[in-house]
Amino acid sequence: MPVLEVLPRDLSAYRAGNVGVDYVHRFESGRPGPHVLVNALTHGNEFCGMVAATHLLDTGVRPKVGTLTVSFANVAAYESFDAARPFESRQLVHNLNRIWSSEWLDGGEDSPELRRARELRPVVMQADHVLDLHSTAQAVEPFWVYRAFARNAAVALALGRPAVHLVMPRGLGSGVPIIEHGRHGEAGSGAGAALVAECGQHFLRATSELAVEVTLDFLAHFGLVAREPAASLPAPRRYELLETRMVRTSAFRFVRPLVGFETFEAGELIATDGDDEIRAPEHCAVLMPAREPIVGREAVYLARPIA
């Protein structure tokens, strides 16, 4: 059982937003500038985003230029949190961070997550830049996740923290996340930056503290707030996503306990999934290994170090 240093708080006071969508708040400066979206609770048990979003709202942060939108995404999953089963409120039915394709959003299926994504669709599309705040099941070093577009890398490198980057040349490979929705997933010059910040383990206070700092850094980068740059940041370490492996059978097993960033040599066995073997395609690191493999969900990301 993980240590629960951060627990949910009642978000009912934030339900009535001002754009016609529950839990979405927008502030316009009246001065030219970019529209930045800070998105929290894409997954219901990733509390760091909730802490960062409520910090912005509770302390009255307002943009000096442009527009700031703050959203709480999957509040329904968040409200299902049970401290005795802290990992189970990630989602109710669908993973809200894998259904941002036209196939899903315009399709005939229904779930709390699909309904919420359809509500949030215009909110995401209207934003020039997107920061989607996440956390990890295991206590690993925080890292960025983004499509391999120069505009994304430029922002992540300029901010400097987290120092680790997971770069996706072809997308996630297991669905379409918020940061790849619409123009944010296109290579054209008309889109702004869209990044995920994985800020640390779900329930640690340090994770929420980092989420607040990264959020303010992101807003300051685009001129929405004034902020002194952080000093003495470590050199960046970058990984390129090679492939995303899914759990196919209930017999899935890693060869040894993994938490993330362990390395494997080319051909080395990482896991078995029934009769299938998952081997390293080259010297690579494993990221986000499933804490509890569930059929149909991601098992592990395989990524190679890059300059």
What is the C-alpha to C-alpha distance for residues 278 and 245, in angstroms, rounded to an integer? 8
Strands 298-306 and 129-136: unpaired
What is the C-alpha to C-alpha distance for residues 281 and 304, in angstroms, rounded to an integer? 10
Q: How many CA atoms, within 13 angstroms, populate the side-chain half-sphere of residue 30?
A: 0
Question: Each residue of 216-246: pLDDT tens digit?
Answer: 999 999 999 999 877 788 899 999 999 999 9
Examine the pLDDT at 251 and tell me if it is beyond 90.
Answer: yes
Examine the pLDDT at 210 and tell me if it is beyond 90.
Answer: yes
What is the C-alpha to C-alpha distance for residues 241 and 232, in angstroms, rounded to an integer? 28
Q: Which domains are present in the chain?
A: 12-221 (3.40.630.10), 240-306 (2.40.50.630)
Question: Kindly report the CA angle at 283 between 144 and 292, in degrees rounded to 5?
Answer: 60
Q: Which band of pLDDT confidence, cut at 50, 70 and 90, is reported for residue 191?
A: confident
User: Which residue in the block uniquely carries the two structure tokens 């499509």?
Assistant: 147
Q: Quick one: tokens of 172?
A: 């996630």
Examine the pLDDT at 189 and tell me if it is beyond 70.
Answer: no
Question: Each residue of 133-153: pLDDT tens digit?
Answer: 999 999 999 999 999 999 999
Q: What is the mean pLDDT of the chain?
A: 96
Examine the pLDDT at 1 and tell me if it is beyond 90.
Answer: no
The CA–CA distances, whole Å, from 173 to 59, 228, 266 equal: 38, 37, 21
Examine the pLDDT at 26 and tell me if it is beyond 80.
Answer: yes
Examine the pLDDT at 17 and tell me if it is beyond 80.
Answer: yes
What is the C-alpha to C-alpha distance for residues 198 and 162, in angstroms, rounded to an integer? 8
- Residue of 261, 282, 290, 283 lying closest to 271 (CA atoms): 290
Three-state secondary structure along 34-65? CEEEEEECCCCCCHHHHHHHHHHHHCCCCCCC
User: What is the C-alpha R_g of the chain?
Assistant: 19
- Residue of 227, 202, 201 lying closest to 213 (CA atoms): 227
pLDDT at 229: 79
| Percentage, residues of the chain above pLDDT 90 | 95
| Percentage, residues of the chain above pLDDT 70 | 100
Phi, psi at 71, each rounded to 5°: -130, 145
Question: Each residue of 149-172: pLDDT tens digit?
Answer: 999 999 999 999 999 999 999 999
Residue/partner pairs of 288-295 with CB below 8 Å, 24 or more apart: 288/136, 288/260, 289/138, 289/254, 289/258, 289/259, 289/260, 290/247, 290/252, 291/87, 291/137, 291/138, 292/87, 293/247, 293/252, 293/253, 294/247, 295/247, 295/248, 295/249, 295/250, 295/252
Q: Omega before 281 cis (within 30°)?
A: no
Examine the pLDDT at 307 and tell me if it is beyond 80.
Answer: no
Q: Alpha helix locations (H) across the chain?
A: 47-58, 75-78, 102-105, 112-126, 150-159, 205-221
pLDDT at 103: 97
Phi, psi at 104, each rounded to 5°: -80, -50
Question: Each residue of 46-99: pLDDT tens digit?
Answer: 999 999 999 999 999 999 999 999 999 999 999 999 999 999 999 999 999 999
